[in-house]
Structure 1
């Protein structure tokens, strides 16, 4: 979580570095959403609008902005707003993006946004990135190392406590299943889709490479959180070839691992409750 900085109070050399890319900035309006940028603003220029996000280079969160820079070269224009420029000046890193309008996705049953989200998830699965870049299997194994040997968290549900040994056994198998060459966003929540005529996907700070079924699995959990029964959410995910072809044991292991990790970090959220519902469905 960061403290939001207004454009007008940025150091003058930082603003000049941005204007070297944009021309004079006529107006700036801060965004109200987002947690990981110290600057997030729409900038009006003589050439039109630009969305700019930024972070101080000393911040530990600056790595997320470098991640967005590194993945931008692989993202199709129809999938994500284009990164137009980035500058590092005066202790700040700024990224300037194509300005895209749209509403966050509605994933509730019957929503007309769901077909557009489906199309976007299918496009992500077709993006080619260099093999082995930011492998999710390594990150997931590291996250689970202590978790699978720990007792259930204090605020875990009664079901999770009663089934702790089964969840631990399945969760421990997850890293062996999630390796792969596919691009994965890893945070496909409704706020990271912008819906207009198509769905555009934003905030690529957590991108990884891994199995092609992982992003559909994350969306599946969000669908459950929005009111879909787990079996119905899996029917949606089966429209994505990578998910449809996945080893069933891989899905069960992943469901268990997501629950173990999220129940400790976010025990009371609707999304964690959805992850639990999916794990219950997978485990019978």
Structure 2
């Protein structure tokens, strides 16, 4: 979503409800990153900064903000900004998070951010996920069905079952670097196999300049779940990303990265563990 509403454009009663939590907002700086919130800004108050985002309760994106509010209490403060409050007023839903003054992660080869990112991904995998029907395997079945997927891509969901918390959108804009890596924008969290988030990182590494072999070697060294994932699980997942992204995000760096990664795996047959039980948590 590119057209951000300014703070002053929010209804008066909505701003009043926010300021009941924050105190008087003296300055608001709209966010340039992200596309799912009608309002997204850093709000300056007498007590400091707070990050606020949200939108209309009847918008297609409203469920994303509710998803974030649901999972946030489970996330360690050193991993993700804590949700301080949420406001539902006059058809608006706004979330207020502690402000993290970080920069977006650099995932290019030899970046000093890579060890921090790896640590954050391991932390996600160690969180006890809630009991939920938000299973990424089910979501993948539905999404692939819309694309009339067949062959290898269509087999991906059978490997994606598990009970591990999965962020599922680990792109550089969703990782803020300070002295550690903070993961934001949890709208798409699901539960699934433990290798899935590491695999999402692999495709992002390829998009940032790593060749597929280097990206996989790095992930295998960092994440036990990726190293032990069945060969076809990861290959089918890579193929499914191409299927899901080539229409919606045609020509983007990440779609081309998914295509390169899937091509590498099908052409070279990198061998990971073949035990199908390793595909799950």
TM-score by length of 1: 0.90
Provide the C-alpha distance between the structure 2 equivalents of 1:49 and 1:21, rounded to a whole number of angstroms: 12
Q: Paired residue for 2:184, among 192, 202, 207?
A: 202
| 3-state SS of 1:73 partner | helix
| Shift of residue 267, structure 1, vs aligned partner | 2.1
Q: Is the 8 A contact 1:137 1:179 kept in 2?
A: yes
For residues 138-153 of structure 1, the aligned pairs below 5 Å read: 138-149=138-149
Provide structure 1 residue ranges, at least 5 long, that are not aligned to the other structure. Answer: 150-167
Task: Tell me what 1:242 maps to.
Answer: 225
Task: Tell me what 2:258 maps to.
Answer: 275
Q: Is the 8 A contact 1:148 1:171 kept in 2?
A: no
Instruction: Summarize the Cα distance change of 1:132–1:62 in structure 2 as closer, same or farther, 3 Å threshold.
Output: closer
For residues 170-189 of structure 1, the aligned pairs below 5 Å read: 170-189=152-171
Provide the C-alpha distance between the structure 2 equivalents of 1:194 and 1:227, rounded to a whole number of angstroms: 20
Cα-to-partner distance string for 1:63-120 (whole Å, 9 max, x where unaligned): 1111110111111101101100001001111100000011111111111111111111
| Shift of residue 132, structure 1, vs aligned partner | 3.6
Provide the C-alpha distance between the structure 1 equivalents of 2:91 and 2:242, rounded to a whole number of angstroms: 38
Residue-pair matches, total: 266
Provide the C-alpha distance between the structure 1 equivalents of 2:6 and 2:216, rounded to a whole number of angstroms: 43
| Shift of residue 2, structure 1, vs aligned partner | 5.5
Provide the C-alpha distance between the structure 2 equivalents of 1:222 and 1:34, rounded to a whole number of angstroms: 16
Tell me whether 178-187 or 1-10 shows the greater mean CA deviation. Answer: 1-10
Provide the C-alpha distance between the structure 2 equivalents of 1:31 and 1:255, rounded to a whole number of angstroms: 31
Task: Tell me what 2:29 maps to.
Answer: 29
Cα-to-partner distance string for 1:33-77 (whole Å, 9 max, x where unaligned): 221111111111121110111201121111111111011111110
Task: Tell me what 2:275 maps to.
Answer: none
For residues 42-61 of structure 1, the aligned pairs below 5 Å read: 42-61=42-61
Q: Is the 8 A contact 1:80 1:202 kept in 2?
A: yes
For residues 209-220 of structure 1, the aligned pairs below 5 Å read: 209-220=191-202
Provide the C-alpha distance between the structure 1 equivalents of 2:29 and 2:250, rounded to a whole number of angstroms: 35
Q: Is the 8 A contact 1:2 1:37 kept in 2?
A: no
Task: Tell me what 1:263 maps to.
Answer: 246
Cα-to-partner distance string for 1:107-158 (whole Å, 9 max, x where unaligned): 1111111111111111110111123441001110011124245xxxxxxxxx
Q: Is the 8 A contact 1:258 1:275 kept in 2?
A: yes
1:74 is aligned to 2:56? no
Task: Tell me what 1:158 maps to.
Answer: none
Task: Tell me what 2:123 maps to.
Answer: 123
TM-score by length of 2: 0.91
Q: Is the 8 A contact 1:132 1:181 kept in 2?
A: no
| 3-state SS of 2:134 partner | coil
Task: Tell me what 1:163 maps to.
Answer: none
Provide structure 2 residue ranges, at least 5 long, that are not aligned to the other structure. Answer: 268-281
Provide the C-alpha distance between the structure 2 equivalents of 1:132 and 1:12, rounded to a whole number of angstroms: 36
| Shift of residue 177, structure 1, vs aligned partner | 0.4
Q: Could you say what the CA RMSD is over the residues aligned between the two structures, in angstroms?
A: 1.2
1:232 is aligned to 2:214? yes
